[in-house]
Copies of this chain bind each other. A is one copy, B any other.
Amino acid sequence: MSINRRLLLVARPSGIPGPRNFADDTVPVRAPAAGECLLETIYLSIDPAMRSWMSEGTGYQQSIPLGEPMRGGGVARVLQSRAEGFTAGDMVQARLGWQSHPTIPGRFLQKLDLAQGTVEDWIGPLGLSAVTAYFGLRDIGGMRPNDRVLVSAAAGGVGQMAVQIARIEGCRVVGIAGGLEKCAFVAGLGAAAAIDYKAQNDLSAAIGHACPEGIDLYFDNVGGPTLDAALEHLRQGARVVLCGRISQTHAAETYGIRNLGKLAASRGRMQGFLVFNYHERYDEARTWLAARHRDGSLQQRLHVLEGLEQAPVGLGMLFRGENTGKLVVRVAD
């Protein structure tokens, strides 16, 4: 407990990131100053946005300096508190970084209400992936009952929540995922159809078959050719939510989108967003999500890797599409 294990970013990614981009490091635990807490990391979340943080000047946030601990969010236990409102044993959510025992100011910590859900619930159906899907569908996507909704990376952390939230709200949902197993999972979430993009020669035709009336709302987690194919099927007044573009973040050459004319012709709207901009409304989302989780209509499948050292491996899995469910690393019990 006197040692803080860390994973430092030592090389910027080219292609899919992985262990070669990181180095192990140990430093003494830093005792909390006034206003700070010493934490024990329990779970770290592995997310597509991380690659842009690792790169230079490409993302919406400052890139991580080389030699610094990798940035990342997760759940931790308070070991020592010198911050008002926190006591040892509290469970908190924060941008912990890839380290076992971070010391962080209390103002950057959010205490988990364990009456609303377990620690696993707070990284699952109450976590940021779920909150992202909630605001993306509602605020950016203008979701309405009976909308024909298409979700890409539908078995992923955000995608599986988007499928379920849209289904709960009375939409007809079609999911796109890679492989039979993921598609079976997506169908089990209540999607009307699941398209295995790896099995398609003509993704646009497959979307047309699964969405015979077209698409009112496309929740895009992947960008690239999948986005281009979806644009061909937009209905009048369609909304395209640009949530992620995992197909493009590590591509050697950026794919050129050819079907923006379809967006124009449909009088459609395409919009990007960051969940962090909804910070002041997280409680609204979590109240909704917790109620749907309690009544059993909303689940989150986690893909759990064991041990801090697995975080770089997980990053590679994420970009190769090898995870089945929201990817997290368990650092401590």
A267 touches B260 (CB 8 A): no
B268 touches A272 (CB 8 A): yes
Contact of A265 among B263, B267, B271, B272 (CB under 8 A): B272
Q: Does A242 contact B (CB under 8 A)?
A: yes
In angstroms, how far is the closest chain B Cβ from the Cβ of A116? 28
Q: Which A residues, 258 to 286, have Cβ-Cβ distances below 8 Å to chain B?
A: 258-261, 263-274, 277
A: contact size bracket: 20 to 34
Residues of B within 8 A of A273 (CB): 267
Residues of B within 8 A of A263 (CB): 242, 270-272
Q: Does A254 contact B (CB under 8 A)?
A: yes
Residues of B within 8 A of A258 (CB): 254-257
A271–B260 Cα gap in the complex (Å)?
10
Q: Does A245 contact B (CB under 8 A)?
A: yes
Residues of B within 8 A of A264 (CB): 223, 242, 245, 272
Known: A227-B260, A260-B242, A270-B271. A60 touches B254 (CB 8 A): no
Copies of this chain, count: 2
Q: Does A62 contact B (CB under 8 A)?
A: no
Q: Does A248 contact B (CB under 8 A)?
A: yes
A245–B258 Cα gap in the complex (Å)?
12
Q: Does A15 contact B (CB under 8 A)?
A: no
Residues of B within 8 A of A242 (CB): 260, 263-264
Q: Does A170 contact B (CB under 8 A)?
A: no
Known: A270-B270, A270-B271, A271-B270. A261 touches B254 (CB 8 A): yes
A261 touches B277 (CB 8 A): no
A266–B272 Cα gap in the complex (Å)?
7
Residues of B within 8 A of A260 (CB): 223, 227, 242, 245, 257, 270
In angstroms, how far is the closest chain B Cβ from the Cβ of A192? 27
Interface string of A180-210 (1 = CB under 8 A from B): 0000000000000000000000000000000
A269 touches B268 (CB 8 A): no
A242–B264 Cα gap in the complex (Å)?
6
Residues of B within 8 A of A257 (CB): 256-258, 260
A-B contacts, 15 listed (Cβ < 8 Å): A60-B266, A223-B261, A242-B263, A245-B261, A254-B259, A256-B258, A257-B258, A263-B270, A263-B272, A267-B272, A267-B273, A268-B271, A269-B271, A269-B272, A270-B271
Known: A254-B259, A266-B272, A267-B272. 7 other contacts (CB 8 A): A223-B264, A227-B260, A245-B264, A255-B258, A257-B258, A265-B272, A267-B271
